[in-house]
Amino acid sequence: GGIGKTRLAVQVANEMRDHSADGACFVSLVSIRDPKLVVPAISEALGIQESGTQPIIEQVKSALREKSFLLLLDNFEQVVQAAPCIEELLAACPNLNIMVTSRAVLHLQAEHEFHVAPLSLPELKLLPATDRLTQYASVALFVQRAQAILPTFQVTQHNARAIAEICICLDGLPLALELAAARIKLLPPQALLTRLSQKLQLLKSAKQLLPAKQQTLYNTITWSYDLLDAQEKWLFRQLSPFAGGCTLDAAETILSKREERTIDILETLASLLDKSLIQQVEQAGGEPRFMMLETIREYALDCLRVQGEMAQAQHDIAMYYLAFVEKAEPYLKGAQQVEWLALLELEVENLRAALQWLVENGEATHALRFCEAFGKFCGLRGYWTEEQRWLKTVLALPQTPESARVRALVLRRAGHLAYRLRDLVSARALQEESVKLSRELADQQNLAGALSGLAWILYRQNNAASAFPLLSECVLVARASGDKWTIANSLESLGRYLHYQGNTEAARLLIEESITLSRELADKESLARTLTTLVSIEITQGNSPRAAALARESLALAQELGTKPLIAVALDSLGDVALFQGEYEQAKLLFEERIMLAQELDDAATIAIKQLKLGDVALAQRDFAQATTYVQQSLLFFRKQSDNPNSAAALSALGDIKRAQGDLAQAMNLYREAMKLDETVKSKRNSIRRLIGLAEFAIDQDQQPYK
């Protein structure tokens, strides 16, 4: 109900008049419940006078047999048992066409089904200009109906977003939009949007020139629900807690065990589908997915609460998705990454709802398990801030001794997220707790990850010397665990550190061993990430052709996974290669694309780092003003973050600019300042770079190198 079937059918009928030489007739079945009354209703609409000497259906046949005619039968779902009569009429009248609006298909031999979708909706992230918002049918309808109630109503900059959100909230359902617009005189858009959380109650008294059943959306759905048999009603209710629809497997696994009566889930789903109370979409692999429009789902949830079935339904769904995400997690480290990422993406709303239920019901151990298994997916998809909120909430729940191992895993994950989000103080505390707990539990795999995480936090806190022993232990512990995935990641971590410190050959050995293991595991994510480190090593050693090939391979893997953070890192590598090869315009394009991705991920640190790269490009093109602007913006951010390594890099870049401009005294000062910061982080690689700059300066000045 409320999708606009009747209006659409009437419009189609009007446009088909030329194809029906003898006319068309609209037959409303809205008030009819008895299938036996359908043919009499048709007869009455056609103006046929009953003779009493033959059945009414024969009179209708006689009236239409020789005619080219269109019958429009509206609201047929409540009398679907009359479908054989429709088939009989079609067989007897060769030039008769019948259009039926119904939430249930008739299953006739010559039937052609046309699914009426909701009206088009705007996207909040890409909201068009105010004067173009009504290009979306849902907005156009809302505005049209609102102006019928309040002629002065207009879309403005102040109410445009609220109007768009109202349309989205109501799923683009015409009836719901009309009901909402009917309240515009009392409630302006923002106030109306605020009240939509109670939409069924709010809208149910709206005045409509429709039959009684459609006077409110609530009554429309109630009307459909009342027509269901007991099993259909039960399944309709049980489907409502699924936040993002469900697969057939999910419905059968969860529900077939709970209902004492014998119920065929597939058959009952098909029945609900025929009645348009659920929708079916085809997902990857051809697996059907069953959805509810949000307004219908709200009604079904109310029914579930009234029946006292909510707690059991939500518990069972949460347990199903806990098992699902735990099953998926190992596959995210191997050859089936792409397939399982897609499956998890389809279920992400259900996964969020399941975790929310576990948290709200104090299921600490289950919630920890969920977060641990869910973390890999969140990382690959870049859901860092959201995941961090979940982890903080779950770690704050009362814990039990039985949850110690999984708590250590989640602490490590929380520390990693805090590091990525630049909260180094929290990150360090979390990783230190994870290291301590993992040592107590002798959990080598998690200990390796926690040691690596802690090492990089210390490095970022300008304590590079303390990071090395932790990374060395990380590799030893990982090898002792025997887990290839853990070993590969520990080798990458130590190799990257050694590369940053200028120990390129030792770094290469570790990185190439890590790549070999990742290839054996078919772990596209780890491989793509580690390849970018090898790209940097190859550039350092002047091997640009191999660097370019490795960067392209990394990008291809990242794009296959559809992982934005990984795509961004691969673009970095391609940009570095282009810059090294003197392809400055290409490098600029790649770094600018990288910045756009970072903006999508709200990653301010990466934006600053890429601005530094753009400064290098501008310097190479001798655009000194632009280069200075880029580098100064980066330096401002790094200083606010107390990020000494990157601050040193920015100061050195400013020195390069000043030297290129001939301001050698200022260049010397900047190089000296950069070297002082390098000394605080013990960064051999960066110090070498500064010394090279100073040596070049000395040559320019015919002086001795600075010491």
612 pLDDT above the threshold of 60:
yes
CATH number of residue 293's parent domain: 1.10.10.10
704 pLDDT above the threshold of 90:
no
In a domain, 438, yes or no: no
**pTM of the prediction?**
0.67
**208 and 232 share one domain:** no
Greater confidence (260 vs 264) lies with 264
**196 and 245 share one domain:** no
Greater confidence (695 vs 670) lies with 670
**254 and 196 share one domain:** no
Residue 664's φ and ψ, nearest 5 degrees, are -70, -35
Beta strands, E only, 518-657? none
Greater confidence (11 vs 489) lies with 489
In a domain, 512, yes or no: no
In a domain, 416, yes or no: no
For 666, the enclosing helix (H) or strand (E) is helix 664-681
**29 and 87 share one domain:** yes
Q: How far is CA 460 from CA 101, 341, 428, 674, 678, in A?
A: 65, 31, 11, 16, 12
**184 and 279 share one domain:** no
Question: What distance separates the 2 farthest-apart alpha carbons in the chain?
Answer: 122
Predicted confidence band at 136 (pLDDT cuts at 50, 70, 90)? very high
Residue type, 287: E
CA-nearest of 569, 557, 628, 612 to 593 is 569
Residue ranges making up the domain that contains 634: 603-707
pLDDT of residue 604: 81
215 pLDDT above the threshold of 50:
no
pLDDT digits (tens, 9 = 90+) for 562-605: 887 788 889 999 999 999 999 999 999 999 988 887 775 556 88
CATH number of residue 42's parent domain: 3.30.370.10
In a domain, 473, yes or no: no
3 state SS of 50: coil
Q: Half-sphere exposure (CA, 13 Å, Cβ side) for 222?
A: 11
pLDDT of residue 223: 60
685 pLDDT above the threshold of 50:
yes
Tokens 């929310």 sit on residue: 356
User: Per-residue pLDDT averaged across 250-270, rounded?
Assistant: 83
320 pLDDT above the threshold of 80:
yes
pLDDT of residue 654: 94
**75 and 139 share one domain:** no
Predicted confidence band at 348 (pLDDT cuts at 50, 70, 90)? confident
**171 and 244 share one domain:** no
In a domain, 390, yes or no: no
pLDDT of residue 15: 83
**51 and 137 share one domain:** no
Contact 279, 291 (CB under 8 A): yes
In a domain, 487, yes or no: no
pLDDT of residue 705: 46
Strand order in the sheet with 246-247: 246-247, 288-291, 279-282
pLDDT of residue 214: 41
CATH number of residue 646's parent domain: 1.25.40.10
Which of 308, 342, 369 marks a domain boundary?
308
Structural domains counted in the chain:
4
**209 and 180 share one domain:** yes
pLDDT of residue 702: 57
Separation CA 151–CA 167 (nearest Å)? 20
- Alpha-carbon Rg of the chain, whole angstroms? 33
The mean-pLDDT minimum among 100-104, 405-409, 525-529, 652-656 falls in 100-104
In a domain, 695, yes or no: yes
Separation CA 247–CA 280 (nearest Å)? 10
Predicted confidence band at 621 (pLDDT cuts at 50, 70, 90)? very high
**155 and 94 share one domain:** no
**677 and 698 share one domain:** yes
**202 and 272 share one domain:** no
In a domain, 486, yes or no: no
pLDDT of residue 114: 87
Greater confidence (186 vs 234) lies with 234
User: Per-residue pLDDT averaged across 666-679, rounded?
Assistant: 84
